[in-house]
Amino acid sequence: MTLSLLDWSIIAAYCGGFVALGIYFKSRSGKSLNEFFLSGRSLPWWLAGTSMAAAAFSADTPLYVTALTRSGGIAANWQWWSFAFCHAISVFLYARLWRRSGVMTENEFAELRYSGKEAAFLRGFKAFLFAVPMNCILMGGLPTLGLAKVLEATMGWEPWTCIGFACGVAFVYTLVSGFWGVVYGELIQFGLAIVGCTTLAVLAVQKAGGVAAMKAGAIAARGSGTLDFVPQFGFTGSFLDSALAVFLMYIGVQWWSNKNANAGGVLVQRMAACKDEKHALLATLWFNVAHYALRAWPWIVAAIASLALYPGLKDGQLAYPMLIRDLLPSGLRGLMIAAFLAAYMGTVNSQLNWGASYLTSDLYKRFVRKGAPDAHYLAMSKVFMAALLALSAGIAALTMRQEDGLVKTFQLLITAQAGTGLVYMLRWYWWRVSAWSELVAVGASVVVAGTLYAGETSWGWHVNFVAKMLITVGVTTALWLAASFVLPGTDPRKLEDFFLRVRPSGPGWAVVARRLALPTEKGLAGDLFDWVLGLGFVFGLTFGIGKACFLEWGSALLLLSGGAFSGGWLWTRSRQPRGAKVLELKQAVNKAAAL
């Protein structure tokens, strides 16, 4: 396929515009580490929340969702829909706490919450693990691979040319602009990607003969249940191989066992960059709406259309690039490639800036060279960005030719972090969780999952995804709980300092609160109820919009009404004063001042 002069002009305008945007923010981002990595902690909720959504909207996600939908129907998207449970709980239980803690990175929390050499080791260990191997696998195995496949299919470029071009554009922009450029760039990128993907979905439905013909063609190609939002519960053979078992694992285990169960990574970075606690909460709520209710349906609709248009295609990852190649006219084709560049840059910019913040703040500044001027640390952060990008490009080259490599990479990342989520959630609400608890959880999940995957390739074990998850979660949870009671705990003074600074609610801190002669906040039950309402709001909007896309108006109206009701109730509750918490805050501040 040959691109027209108009296509190239659109792509060139996009790349040139973002270079100019990066240059515009260069002087502002270079002032300090706080500006380069957190935008001076001054982001409004709408910008931070859109940035969160854009960071999760990558060049690989349309391909991943298309492959997932083609193989398992719409219900297969519960593999990532299930994370709405933890993303929603992050809104009401963790967003305020993260912003209140004042940390620059998630790993800095280790030395805020725990004591001793084990806390320092935990900070450095997690910084390296998540910034280098996990981050590079994510960047190389997902967004870089996704964009390379699109460029290869639409422009005919060789894989290494695609990877080099994509990595070069992202690196120059992130290097120059810092976090200010990242978040404002993501605002534009998110809008451009939504417009491009929606346009393609509309054209795909028209090519398939309209919504009714598209639905009939998809069912003929894949079978009954293709359009169901929840999998059919009948099964034959092993229960663990059934769609029901996978669905139950998603909604019952996966979301709380994953490392981002209390937010994490780029979400924490954006919460920390918000103006205050209220903006952090609203940003995370807006992210949930944009991430689940708005962005995915153009991809799912296009995937259903691709079943009708390419029923015999084996590699589902190729369906989306084929739609771009076959359906988009000149101009729109250039717009879509620019949209994929935008989606790619939205994720890679975030991952590079975030990963460099870990290596700079949690490793280099903390353990290698203390007390240097910010200019030195800013220079080192750019060296770290270059190294991370080079590693991710190598991983992308290794996974380029793997069939369903996107889905397999996603499953590997989920499994290797399974079992850690519960310790991350409870460390805020239970004083007994220690640095040893986290170390055991992180190490055990990687070792157990790695052993299971290695056994599959080296010794011919047959362990399906559900079994891998259950084994990893079970072993990891048992080990870290035992470590919490058997191994040394956190110094009492450190627990008191944390309690005064973060003010966690619930009975898990009663021992520490009594020692300080302070009450604990009474809002945990209310926060959990708000979480339930938030789920009703997000899922009501998500599935209501989905039903409307397939012209099922009765179901759409019912679901949207339920979502609106939950959202209205949530808004009403947010207007109520939190008197007990205000009183506790004043008491804590007075106590801290006296100490």
Tell me which of 325 and 74 has the higher pLDDT: 74
**Torsion (CA) 86, 92, 96, 98 in degrees, nearest 10:** -10
CA distance 83 to 367: 34
pLDDT of res. 582: 44
- Residue 577 has a pLDDT of 62
Tokens of 315: 């590699």
Range of weakest confidence among 155-159, 224-228, 271-275, 475-479: 155-159
- 224-276: per-residue pLDDT in tens? 889 999 887 766 667 777 778 888 888 998 899 888 888 877 788 888 888 88
- Summarize the confidence of residues 486-496 as an average pLDDT: 94
The per-residue pLDDT for 269 is: 81
* Cα separation values, 479 from 24, 91, 189, 431, 448, Å: 50, 29, 43, 18, 11
Q: Structure tokens of 167?
A: 């990595």
pLDDT tens for 357-393 read 899 999 999 999 988 888 898 889 888 988 888 888 7
**Tens digits of residue pLDDT in 561-582:** 999 999 999 999 887 765 445 4
Q: What is the pLDDT of residue 65?
A: 92
Stated pTM of the model:
0.85
What torsion do the CA atoms of 339, 345, 351, 355 make, to the nearest 10 degrees?
180
Say how far apart CA 248 and CA 142 lie, in whole Å: 25
Cα separation, 99 vs 85, in Å, equals: 20
User: pLDDT value at position 579?
Assistant: 43
Q: What is the per-residue pLDDT for 119?
A: 94
How far is the C-alpha of 80 from the C-alpha of 247, rounded, in Å?
A: 11
Distance in Å from the first CA to the final CA of the chain = 71
Distance (Å, whole) CA 29 – CA 181: 8
> So what's the pLDDT on residue 593?
45
Residue 583 has pLDDT above 50, yes or no: no
Contact, 301 vs 204, CB < 8 A? Answer: yes
Query: Which pLDDT score, from 0 to 100, does residue 405 have?
Result: 54
pLDDT single digits (tens) 176-192 = 666 777 788 788 888 88
Kindly state the average pLDDT of the residues 492-511. Answer: 92
Report which of 334, 312, 316 is spatially closest to residue 325, judged by C-alpha positions.
Answer: 334
Lowest mean pLDDT among 254-268, 276-290, 295-309: 254-268
* pLDDT number for residue 286: 93
pLDDT score of 530 more than 80: yes
Which pLDDT score, from 0 to 100, does residue 88 have?
92
Residues 411, 185: Cα–Cα separation, whole Å: 29
Q: Give 521's strand partners.
A: 505
Amino acid, single-letter form, for residue 156: G
What pLDDT, on the 0 to 100 scale, is given for residue 163? 67
The pLDDT assigned to 416 comes to 78
The mean predicted confidence, pLDDT, of the chain is 84
CA-CA distance, 237 to 256, in Å (whole number)?
28
pLDDT tens digits for range 413-442: 777 778 899 999 999 999 999 999 999 999
Confidence of residue 287 (pLDDT cuts 50, 70, 90): very high
The residue type at 229: F
